[in-house]
Structure 1
Amino acid sequence: MNLNSPRGHRVLALIVAGLVGVATLSACGSGSDTTASGPTVTIAHKFGETKVPADPKRVVTVGYNDQDFTLALGVVPVTTRAFFDSYDTLPWVQAQTGGKGVPAMQGDSINYEEIATAKPDLILAIYETIDRKTYDRLSQIAPTVIQSAEYKDEETPWNVQLLTTGKALGREAQARALVTKVTGAIDAAKAAHPEFAGKTLVVDYGPENGGHYLLGANDPRRALFDALGFGAQDTVGDVSEEKLGLLDRDVLFVEGATRSQLASSPAFTRLNVVREDRTLYTQFDSPLAGALSYSGPDALLYAIKVVVPQLSNALTGKPVADLAGA
């Protein structure tokens, strides 16, 4: 698990697509054009626009979770950015790749040499903080799609990312169908569990060596919790043992540690949310942790089935299951 991450022709049209979903889908501006080499699609982003050849065959994903969105649309990247070591073992990845998984770049940083060697005709770098220099360098290799200027770096909503990816891959209709499927599952879960409304859920991400990192609203790694109607705490980032009271809200989700691993911290174990069994735990090598961190459409559908019943248990006084292997 890598935690060191904190992504010419005149445009003929710019389409802003409005959907009822988890977030406003206005980040997918695009148009179409035709060049000597064939038709193209134009994707608007924070540094301007990128013309993508129709039906790209060789796709490289540079964002930490971008591969999860291409796989859901039936495209296996020729190389990807490494994130979770266990990615290839996740159930939806196994299903989408026939058990083969996806090749990953070496190292933690963007490996330009490997990207160039892969000879891509499209680079996706949406879930990553991409500056102008990095964008220009990637664009010298192949057309590069990054996030819209409408969102902060690494805060593009999952449905916007999916529609942007679908547009770039020439699979927009498929992407829209997946948005509808996932938002339908989320809406059904919310309707079945009105106890979620108005509650605050804190995500404690990767607690180790007495340190705790809290994910804020709009972080893709807590996208499902936000979509289910949970609010986030105001504090974001590292929290010391002395300030663990910030974790004591309606529900606590610990990603990256088990109950027994945190039992040696008196400040943690005396929190009401811990003592009253309103805390869920999972380890980073679990499929649930992978699903929440990648947050592609199939990942979200997986996470809904696993975590929603346990969230309900936490809020209704029922025993919460151990999710370490879920």
Structure 2
Amino acid sequence: MPKKVFTPRGPRALSLVVATLLSVGLLAACGGSDSSMASGSTTTVAHKFGETKVPTDPKRVVTVGYNDQDFTLALGVVPVTTRSFFESYNTLPWVERETRGKGVATMQGDSINFEEIAKAKPDLILAIYETIDRKTYDRLSQIAPTVIQSDKYKDEETPWDVQLLTTGKALGKEREAQGLVDQVKSKLDAATTAHPEFAGKTLVVDYGPENGGHYLIGGNDPRRALFDALGFKAQDTVGDLSEEKLSLLDRDILFVEGATKQELISSPAFSRLTVVQKDRALYTKFDSPLSGALSYSGPDALLYAIDVVVPQLSNALTGKPVADLASA
């Protein structure tokens, strides 16, 4: 399963913490959710465990996936509580705009907090960008109607546009979702047309290098959605990479997320890489808005990231000076 990084605390353990049995209070919350749904019309959303009927205009939405809130916000829905991922999320420019500076509330802990979800009394739970097994799905569904990813994709590999359209359907905002998909794709098409140098190039994402370790993100991972959409190929190797195998970073272009060049250049193996010596490497820190945009990859995040990173990708491939993206 892909490594996630919680800034500024570093990587999280990927296993779900086994929660305690549902309490009487949890069951009471479920009953309230069922009765509210029964009083109005519903929309049916298909997913890998079947179908979920959700209220056509949900008022209290909880997001469990790591980036799900970025998609609801773009559709004008502020979740009552969200899964914690980046601690700096509420400071990102599009989040401040969509929430009018109020931000979004987050759950306690790094794993799915069933009790806190139930206390929020949701009428819809979104859990798309997360590996949800049947047991977890059933438990969430006891709290409120729950929408997860389709079985057409591997866990945590739903394309951004499919995630947006699924979210739009669940929220009763399909037209708005399609409009945002069209807007982002139009801007992506303009970028690829303006930069034919991207075609056929391999871009490696080195995510969260620390303590001499590196992690390579593979194709179809939402955290490199922008690079995939711009036509860059991904390297074959995915996962942890030791110093002895850093030559695998040496492709057409390298994007380092979570460290600066100054922090990595002391490694002889890293500094010897051609992609580093030829200044075809880009770097950003996890607390930068660009890092947040690439990691969340909602429509507003992608629009932001296109403006910031596309010119620098072009510079790296055409021998022009590359800007420091740590504050971008």
Gaps of 5+ in 1: 8-34
Q: Provide the residue aligned with 1:24 in structure 2.
A: none
The C-alpha deviation readout for 1:214-270, integer Å capped at 9, x for no partner, is 000000000000000000000000010000000000000000000110011110011
Q: Tell me, yes or no, if structure 1 residue 318 matches structure 2 residue 320.
A: yes
Q: Provide the residue aligned with 1:87 in structure 2.
A: 89
Q: Provide the residue aligned with 2:31 in structure 1.
A: none
CA distance in 2, matches of 1:246, 1:311: 19
Q: Provide the residue aligned with 1:109 in structure 2.
A: 111
SS in structure 1 of the partner of residue 301 of structure 2: helix
Q: Tell me, yes or no, if structure 1 residue 220 matches structure 2 residue 228.
A: no
Q: Provide the residue aligned with 1:96 in structure 2.
A: 98
CA distance in 1, matches of 2:171, 2:254: 38
Deviation at 1:37, TM superposition (A): 1.8
Q: Tell me, yes or no, if structure 1 residue 175 matches structure 2 residue 211.
A: no
CA distance in 2, matches of 1:39, 1:183: 32
Count the aligned residue pairs.
Answer: 299
Matches within 5 A, 1:267-306: 267-306=269-308
TM-score (norm: length of structure 2): 0.90
SS in structure 2 of the partner of residue 38 of structure 1: coil
CA distance in 2, matches of 1:76, 1:164: 17
In percent, how many aligned pairs have the same letter? 81
Q: Which has the higher helix share?
A: 2
CA distance in 2, matches of 1:169, 1:99: 23
Name the aligned partner's letter for residue 231 of structure 2: G
Matches within 5 A, 1:180-195: 180-195=182-197
CA distance in 1, matches of 2:135, 2:189: 41
State the 4+ residue runs in structure 1 displaced beyond 3 angstroms. Answer: none
Q: Tell me, yes or no, if structure 1 residue 132 matches structure 2 residue 134.
A: yes
CA distance in 1, matches of 2:120, 2:81: 7
Q: Tell me, yes or no, if structure 1 residue 62 matches structure 2 residue 70.
A: no
CA distance in 1, matches of 2:268, 2:321: 22
Name the aligned partner's letter for residue 190 of structure 1: T
Deviation at 1:5, TM superposition (A): 5.9
The C-alpha deviation readout for 1:77-100, integer Å capped at 9, x for no partner, is 000000000000000000000001
Q: Provide the residue aligned with 1:236 in structure 2.
A: 238
The C-alpha deviation readout for 1:26-51, integer Å capped at 9, x for no partner, is xxxxxxxxx85221100100000000
CA distance in 1, matches of 2:76, 2:265: 43
CA distance in 1, matches of 2:38, 2:221: 41
TM-score (norm: length of structure 1): 0.91
Q: Provide the residue aligned with 1:45 in structure 2.
A: 47
SS in structure 2 of the partner of residue 285 of structure 1: coil
The C-alpha deviation readout for 1:119-139, integer Å capped at 9, x for no partner, is 000000000000000000000
CA distance in 1, matches of 2:243, 2:38: 62
CA distance in 1, matches of 2:87, 2:112: 16
SS in structure 2 of the partner of residue 280 of structure 1: strand
Name the aligned partner's letter for residue 135 of structure 1: Y
Q: CA RMSD in A?
A: 1.1
Gaps of 5+ in 2: 17-36
CA distance in 2, matches of 1:36, 1:104: 28
CA distance in 2, matches of 1:54, 1:196: 42
CA pair 66-233 structure 1, distance change in 2 beyond 3 A: same
